[in-house]
Structure 1
Amino acid sequence: MDTVEEAYSIRLISEVKLGEKGLLHTETWIEGNEYKSSIYLNKRRITFGGKESLPTFNGEDLYYVLNGRTLVRQSPYGESKRLFTLGKIHKFVFHKDGILVIGEKKDKKEGHFVAKKLKYRFDGRGLLRTRMSLFLFDGKKVRTLVEGDFDVTDVATNGKRIVISATKENDDVGLSDVYEVEGNELRKITRGEGIVSAVAMNDDGQIAYLGHRKGKAPWAVKEVILPEEDKSYLCGNYCGNSVLTDLFDGAKEKLVFSRGEIVTTGQVGGKTNVYKISDNKVEQLTDGDMVVRNFDYLNGELVYVYTTPEKPSLMQYKGEIYDPNPLVRGLKPELVKGDIEGWAIIVDKNAPTILFIHGGPHTAYGYSYFIEFQFFAKHGFNVIYSNPRGSQGYGEDFAKACVGDWGGKDMEDILNFVKTVKEKYGLTGKIGVTGGSYGGFMTNWIITKTDMFSAAISERSISNLVSMCGTSDIGFWFNTIESGIDDPWKPENMDKLMKMSPIYYVKNVKTPTMLIHGEEDYRCPIEQAEQFFIALKMNGIDSELVRYKGDGHEHARRGKPNNMKDRLRRKLEWFNKYLR
């Protein structure tokens, strides 16, 4: 872990799938400036091109996606066959009439683009020239079942009945519903407004989804909901997983409905485990200081992939643990309990300390491996991080507690946590601060309010909540609801947004600050960093703006590998310069 190349040399288990032939899993790693992935059957590698994903068996045949675009069938006795290609394939499942596919058509990339709605571009996708649609491959050709100026986000079938989740009615603000596909028609199943993160169906045609019906509420706790039976269940404090990591496995929230059992993940504080719902009861299947990133469940058998602060990626199946990184072991953090939950990796009480602030704001830190935390600890820095008010995993009231008050009680929690850690461990060295997204907002904000930090690094940050309303893919509604206002363009609301913005107080900053941003970040556009950088320079503050071409908002988790390595190297140089 001494070099950035070593830090990013880990292998991650990114998918697992149980079937009659045993256990399929996909491993992802970085090679040069590329992400690579290959498929394993019962822990033996069976594909070697380095671009295979989404494996599943149907009878004797293995199906998988090549290069993210082509569906391949590999029979046990013949050559592999490329069945069809789309612009992108996100998911596929088997149906009596063929293979159902969520995908996007090939982007023609015309020279001009006409925006006609609020949501016309999206982080990680750019201008929305194509949308995620539902297709059916009947063995000969691909035809479109569901498409429009919205996204089909998930599909489930028992081979006969088909249900999807889609943003059909509230695409601008990203709300979604469950629909049944009946020929050329869609029948809406969900009532009200909310979010659908995953949908599942058992063999009897019962459906369940992961989400909520609380409208535009980024802080809302997700549940497992059976919409046709008017039942809902809570797994831990939050169904799904909002615990952050900078692992590049691309894990997504998942739901499995097998016979009368529903299996998903649930979060309590900084831990995420696997839960099962059956006979109207919720049962926790796993337990530990860990974060489950992926799982599958079939005929009473469970396989799950998890991370811990010490191990990047572990897979447990039938009582055995598979570790693709046997030589990697991170330093274990210590839990720091005060008014809030936090953690500390203390290498030396006289060493400099880096405070990390998470994004969201409704995500959380916890028991996951962080490449960056371990890298800085190995380079002689104490690493501290916490879950202030606004973090998910502690109940909805706690998650909502920062709404309308960004930089208020949440900042108090963070500063009190720093004070607690300093006293607990007798820290004497300088302290730096860093964070991304909302953590970047808080980094910018906190250095306008205190001079206690000797250096700051603000990533994919927010500096001006007003300009972000007109430039971010979600800012026009997200900033509004998070600020506790209704319309961002009313003069009095613009005034409130400005007074909640770090740029408004930039004259107070004395802290040397590096700003890091992806040039294709549409969530927190790079103009946010540009404004703060220019203001700092004009005020004589030592500052740098590092711009990464081709990277979006996920630049620290799934950016271009060479950019991620360069980023870590630059952060180390900045903190060495000002904290040593």
Structure 2
Amino acid sequence: MKRGMRAEDLYKLKSVKNPQLSPDGKNVVFVQTVINEDKHDYESHLFISDIDGKQVRQWTFGDGSDNTPAWSPDGRFIAFTSTRSGKSQIYLISAEGGEARQITSCLNGAKNPIWSPDSSKILFEGSLAPNEKLTDKKRDKKEKNGDKLPEPMVVERIRYKSDATGFLDDKNQHLGIVTVETGEVLQLTDGDRDHAAGAWSADGQSIVFSADLGEDPDFSHISDVYIMSLADKQLTKITPSTGFFGSPNYSPDGKYITLIGHEKEYKSATLSRVWLYELESQSLHCLTADLDIHVGDIAIGDFHSAIVDQGAVWTNDSKGFYFLVTDQGRTAVYYGTIEGEMYPAMNDNEHVYGMTINPDTHEAVAAISNPTHPGDLFKVNLSTGERTQLTYVNDDFFKDIELSSAEPITFDAPDGWEVHGWVMKPFGFEEGKKYPTIIEVHGGPHAMYANTYFHEFQMLASAGYVVVFTNPRGSHGYGQAFVDAVRGDYGGKDYQDVIAATDYAVEYLEYVDADNLGITGGSYGGFMTNWAVSHTNRYKAAVTQRSISNWLSFYGVSDIGYYFSEWEVGGDLIEETEKLWKHSPIAYVSKVETPLLILHGEKDYRCPIEQAEQLFVALKKQKKETKFVRFPEANHELSRSGNPKLRIERLNHIKVWFEEYLD
């Protein structure tokens, strides 16, 4: 007898990601991540499979996590990052197997290894504080544990914290090159700016990278792409300082560089596109200007994390490249040419969350997920679409599990805009029976629910709920006008889309119990949950997660608040305070009648926990039905990559709350 999915099953699932084909196309290395249930922590190791999937072998072992594998161009070695020595450092392992060798010992770690064309050097990134060098060794501790006195933190820049890394401590990402044979490190950049490594030129004489080197990055909000001549470290800026550009890749013939980015025409709601820089003419132009699709994978999920998107990956003839797109609830693969022709190469209703190609044969190994399949690797012929599954990492576990499929739905909002989504029937579904139903709202808002595995949805369906999840306006995947439509109108037409999803479920899904509706969401989805319960009483229970309740305070406490509030809501703390308050759910808190569970991480710097605290106190002051659950040391990524024990606790709190208030 099969059973449904439980929150605790997260401990049993394996994630495969970041595949990389060997230069001869015969093998693929990838990362497999599991959760150590005893340590409540993640363990990642490298695995290798032959291209037909007949032999899959674990390649690295031991403590720590191994990630971001990269084959040397001569096929002799695999470089990867590992935390086995404490901080993340770069290691080498032979393609024949054996012990891995550490080749960097950077003070604050090293990451993102990128091989030189002749396989003799590796470009990488390292974090440095002022006056530190990549060649500095680990310092001896002068103070014994507990003897160090607290010091004040002096803040002079508006960007002094990040949800990803916490307080920034004046550290910046810099670029270095390590010589494989000797371990000698050459530092390429310095100063108080972050740099992201891109690629080597075909002749190995230059690198390309992205950075914001403007006078005041607190306010410029751009990312430019630069070419650095390694002979003299001279820089050539190839983008116009008008937006966000990154993921640069040289063509094999050295004539072109592809970039992914945009010029901020719609601020944070702008579609990313493919751009081409011609080195001879020093000209830059957009290749996908006529393609109303977001380039890159921006699908929302709660299973895989630390996914690497390589940008536009060239074929060896230098005439074209492959790249990921987010479109209509799927993440697909497109092929583009230097003349600007674009064709879908993989366009099924699924989530392609990783890809590596054989640049000679147009064959790929893709990491693919769908709502009933967390993810595996597949060999794909990009010309014919023929595919072969290479890994089956969760098949044994799923022999005893029944998963709920996601059925696509479309409906019209009150103003006629079409909205797309899915519905999951509950485990053990019986015709003629009515079930409590939960409306899920994703974060972003510029993201997309997709044809991908979602552990939270499967757990709720297993507990007996219909799960409805949709992409209201503001979501990616449906064109530029759709994703931009939410800006300045938070709680307006986007809210009507959420209500329209609820109306559709009640009217057209005969198994939905109209008197037993719940709503939940995180981040922007938490905002929308707060907004919904302060504007309607049709939901019997709600769970708001890592939410926004007050745009006025969010402006000053979020790591992105001072510009995100202006770009998205259209207000600020100086001249447009009324606009921020008008769109704040807490302004309408007196109207909340729905029992509301509030979940929030204590180290969330994106939507800081004071947003939850304000909401909780305001509700309690009115003696409304509410509960507040705080997750220690958890940041905004709790549901996706947080402490596994806390992820399970979060899921069970959601389930128990709905069980208490929905019949």
Q: TM-score band, normalised by the shorter chain?
A: over 0.9
Deviation at 1:6, TM superposition (A): 1.2
Deviation at 1:437, TM superposition (A): 0.4
Match of 2:175 among 131, 134, 148: 134
Deviation at 1:197, TM superposition (A): 4.3
Deviation at 1:278, TM superposition (A): 2.1
Partner of 1:535: 618
Partner of 1:202: 251
Partner of 1:274: 333
Matches within 5 A, 1:74-85: 74-75=93-94, 76=96, 79-85=99-105
Partner of 1:62: 78
Q: Verify the 8 A CA contact 1:175 1:216 in the aligned structure 2.
A: no
Match of 2:302 among 236, 240, 246: 246
State the distance in 1 between where 2:192 and 2:561 align. Answer: 20
Q: Verify the 8 A CA contact 1:180 1:189 in the aligned structure 2.
A: yes
Deviation at 1:279, TM superposition (A): 4.8
State the distance in 2 between where 1:573 and 1:30 align. Answer: 24
Matches within 5 A, 1:113-132: 113-129=153-169, 130-132=171-173
Partner of 1:171: 217
Partner of 2:142: none
Once the two structures are overlaid, the 10-residue window that deviates more, 96-105 or 510-519, is 96-105
- Cα distance change, pair 83–111 in 1 and its aligned pair in 2 (3 A): farther
Deviation at 1:248, TM superposition (A): 3.0
Partner of 1:89: 110
Q: Verify the 8 A CA contact 2:444 2:524 in the aligned structure 1.
A: yes
State the distance in 1 between where 2:276 and 2:338 align. Answer: 13
Deviation at 1:72, TM superposition (A): 1.2
Q: Deviations over 1:172-218 (max 9, x none)?
A: 25421101113333321101421124221222232111111226711
Match of 2:351 among 291, 297, 317: 291
State the distance in 2 between where 1:413 and 1:374 align. Answer: 23
- Cα distance change, pair 9–77 in 1 and its aligned pair in 2 (3 A): closer
SS of 1:38 mapped into structure 2: strand
Q: Deviations over 1:47-85 (max 9, x none)?
A: 122521112222312222111612112234764321113
Q: Deviations over 1:95-122 (max 9, x none)?
A: 2672110122489998433222111111
Q: Verify the 8 A CA contact 1:242 1:363 in the aligned structure 2.
A: yes
State the distance in 2 between where 1:276 and 1:544 align. Answer: 50
SS of 1:172 mapped into structure 2: helix
May I ask how many residue pairs the two structures share in their alignment? 577
SS of 2:606 mapped into structure 1: coil
State the distance in 2 between where 1:78 and 1:453 align. Answer: 58
Match of 2:187 among 109, 125, 144: 144
Partner of 1:337: 410
State the distance in 2 between where 1:17 and 1:98 align. Answer: 19
Q: Verify the 8 A CA contact 2:197 2:210 in the aligned structure 1.
A: yes
Match for 1:253: what amino acid?
A: D
Partner of 2:392: 323
- TM-score, with length taken from structure 1: 0.95
- Cα distance change, pair 552–197 in 1 and its aligned pair in 2 (3 A): farther
Q: Verify the 8 A CA contact 1:88 1:105 in the aligned structure 2.
A: no
State the distance in 1 between where 2:586 and 2:373 align. Answer: 39
Partner of 1:374: 458
Partner of 2:21: 18
- Cα distance change, pair 78–372 in 1 and its aligned pair in 2 (3 A): closer
Partner of 2:415: none
Partner of 1:558: 641
Runs (5+) with no aligned partner, structure 2: 50-55, 133-138, 140-147, 381-386, 413-418
Match for 1:92: what amino acid?
A: P
Partner of 1:230: 284
Partner of 2:62: 49
- Cα distance change, pair 549–197 in 1 and its aligned pair in 2 (3 A): farther
State the distance in 1 between where 2:113 and 2:8 align. Answer: 35
After TM superposition, the runs of 4+ consecutive aligned structure 1 residues lying more than 4 A away are 106-110
State the distance in 2 between where 1:77 and 1:458 align. Answer: 48
SS of 1:178 mapped into structure 2: strand
Q: Verify the 8 A CA contact 1:358 1:435 in the aligned structure 2.
A: yes
Matches within 5 A, 1:409-428: 409-426=493-510, 427-428=512-513
State the distance in 1 between where 2:621 and 2:227 align. Answer: 57
Matches within 5 A, 1:489-508: 489-491=573-575, 493-508=576-591
State the distance in 2 between where 1:310 and 1:452 align. Answer: 30
Deviation at 1:559, TM superposition (A): 0.7
SS of 1:352 mapped into structure 2: strand
- Does the alignment pair 1:464 with 2:550? yes
SS of 2:548 mapped into structure 1: coil
Matches within 5 A, 1:182-201: 182=229, 183-201=232-250
Deviation at 1:236, TM superposition (A): 6.3
Q: Deviations over 1:398-423 (max 9, x none)?
A: 11111100000000011011101111
Matches within 5 A, 1:350-369: 350-369=434-453
- Does the alignment pair 1:305 with 2:367? yes
State the distance in 1 between where 2:308 and 2:121 align. Answer: 25
State the distance in 2 between where 1:77 and 1:218 align. Answer: 45
Match for 2:43: what amino acid?
A: K
Match for 2:294: what amino acid?
A: Y
SS of 2:104 mapped into structure 1: strand
Question: Percent identity among equivalent residues?
Answer: 31
Match of 1:101 among 124, 131, 147: 124
Match for 1:160: what amino acid?
A: Q
Match of 2:90 among 59, 71, 87: 71
Q: Verify the 8 A CA contact 2:518 2:658 in the aligned structure 1.
A: yes
- Cα distance change, pair 230–185 in 1 and its aligned pair in 2 (3 A): closer
- Does the alignment pair 1:515 with 2:515? no
Deviation at 1:148, TM superposition (A): 2.6
State the distance in 2 between where 1:111 and 1:91 align. Answer: 33
Match for 1:171: what amino acid?
A: P
Deviation at 1:264, TM superposition (A): 1.0
Q: Verify the 8 A CA contact 1:28 1:249 in the aligned structure 2.
A: no
Q: Deviations over 1:293-349 (max 9, x none)?
A: 010112222111111011000211153112311143631111111121011112355
Deviation at 1:490, TM superposition (A): 2.2
Deviation at 1:156, TM superposition (A): 1.0
- Cα distance change, pair 282–483 in 1 and its aligned pair in 2 (3 A): same
